[in-house]
Chain A
Amino acid sequence: MTSPMENLVSRESQALAEAGVWIARLADEGVSGDDGLEFDAWLMAAPQNRAAYSQALVLCHEFDARAEAVLAELAPADPGQTVVPISVVRRRSPVRGWWAGVGGMAIAAGLAVAVLPAYLAGPTIATYATGKGQHQHIALADGSKLDLDAETKAVVSYSRGERRVALSDGQAIFDVTHDAARPFVVEAAGRQVRDLGTQFDVKAKSRELTVTVARGLVEVAGTSGRGVQLAPGQRLSIDKSGVGRLSAVDPAETFSWRLGRLVYRAQPLADVVADLNRQFVQQTEIADPAIAGLPITGVIVLDSPSAVMARLSLMLPIKAVPSDRALVLTRR
């Protein structure tokens, strides 16, 4: 026999379990009107169902609203994230061996790094890499933040006098905490991008480099040492031959990849396809060279390659046909 109190508790717990099932089911794509009818019947079946669902919904909305902050808290310590640092190498400084050990533990725990100034330890080197379709948010020990786009590799090395990030091919947004005593330097495409407390985006593709500044002041230096200073809203693009072009842009557009969308202004379809192929495992191919140059202007929401192409084919004379190895684009 169970007491009425126990009954009540188990009924509430049951309602909460069912509420979780409904939240999970209704939160995904492809919810139908029939799902709605079934949900309605469940909601009406018992007052505790409505209460449990409302409770679960409020919490889920809070997670939605704070997703970024929660991710920032999770990022350093969570081993189950989509991308993990592939190596954390520590150069032991003989003089500061003791501190180096403490620093290593702090990084292993993923907690104390904010408390213990990183420069007390020897230089810390961590490598982060993303694959196709992966994004990675990295909170660095000094409060600076790094957002890696798909297929990007960054080697972060912090030492007493300098914070340095080497960016191989790929794209990243840097949100840098200003520290006059420790400049923040990004190495990309054979050049150095030096910031003065700011937010900026670096895209490196073999020998080409694009730097866009949202906030603060950034200096891009070549191998010769003479630098170009960039203010907010300015973009510097340097091509393979080393020719630079300065333009005014809306930084929000450049930064939009972090938000799951890409913005294009009269850029050829081939560029869009190249970007999609970095963002998704499923590859897209242009079968007809005549359509490669079609200009694209607009915002592309990154849900799936087939969904993107379905929307594009409404505006352009193209057709997407799935095949074994890729989504093939042809003229319609």
Chain B
Amino acid sequence: MALASGPPESRQTEPGVDPLLAAFLETRENLILFLAARVRSMATAEDLVQDLFLKVAALEPQAEVRAPKALLYRMASNLMVDHFRSVQRASRRDGQWRMDTRVTLAGLDVVSEPAADEALVEKQRARLLAEAVTALPPQMGRAFRLHKLEGLSQAEAAEAMGISRKMVEAHIAAAVKHLVQRLRT
């Protein structure tokens, strides 16, 4: 079965180890990469995979898991759904990050603004990124902007643009390729 073919650099696992746990150790990095596209930061993806580890470790050792990898990816996608439901662990789209750095609470100017020279570098980099987005073909740029920058789901972006969701996905895929090629240093 295809699932049995392990990664080329497969880690040695001791005999007798819970197959699910063994599969987790082999797949851990891939799981992080899997989640990171949606949760928008490596740190959050790593946190979620850590949660997954705790869940796996808490399960009774099951010799009978037929497709451990499939189970792991299913658990990972469920954890991601929970993550987006949970307001406490709000992602950037929910604004926690912006809330922390931008909004001032009562009192004086407590915004953690970067120092002037840092701000300049930040601004230049933001301008460079913006230029790369502007250089994309218009529809592609718009799809990327709505989904990636303004945080709309692909379905919402599709509705805003009057095209299909699949088309939005294709635009974003192409935009990512263009942007990487242009901004690669």
Contacts and interface: CB of A to CB of B under 8 A. Distances in A.
Contacts of A261: 87, 94-95
A67 B148 contact: yes
Contact of B148 (A19, A39, A64): A64
Nearest to A135: B150
Given A20-B175, A69-B123, A71-B145, 4 more contacts: A24-B170, A54-B33, A60-B148, A258-B95
Interface of B: 2-3, 5, 7-8, 27, 30-31, 33-34, 36-38, 40-42, 69-78, 80, 84-85, 87, 90, 92-95, 98-99, 102-109, 111, 122-123, 125-127, 129-131, 133-134, 138, 141-142, 145-151, 153-156, 159-160, 169-170, 172-177, 179-181, 183-184
A78 B98 contact: no
Given A27-B38, A31-B80, A82 B87 contact: no
Contacts of A57: 33, 36-37, 42
A325 interface: no
A interface secondary structure, majority: helix
Nearest to A78: B134
Given A70-B129, A214-B104, A78 B179 contact: no
Given A29-B153, A66-B125, A61 B95 contact: no
Contacts of B125: 66
A55 interface: yes
Contacts of A259: 94-95, 98-99
B146 A82 contact: yes
A11 interface: no
A69 B33 contact: no
Contact of B149 (A50, A71, A252): A71
Contacts of A59: 176, 179-180, 183
A256 interface: yes
A69 B27 contact: no
Given A28-B154, A259-B95, A40 B145 contact: no
Nearest to B97: A65
B34 to A, nearest CB: 5
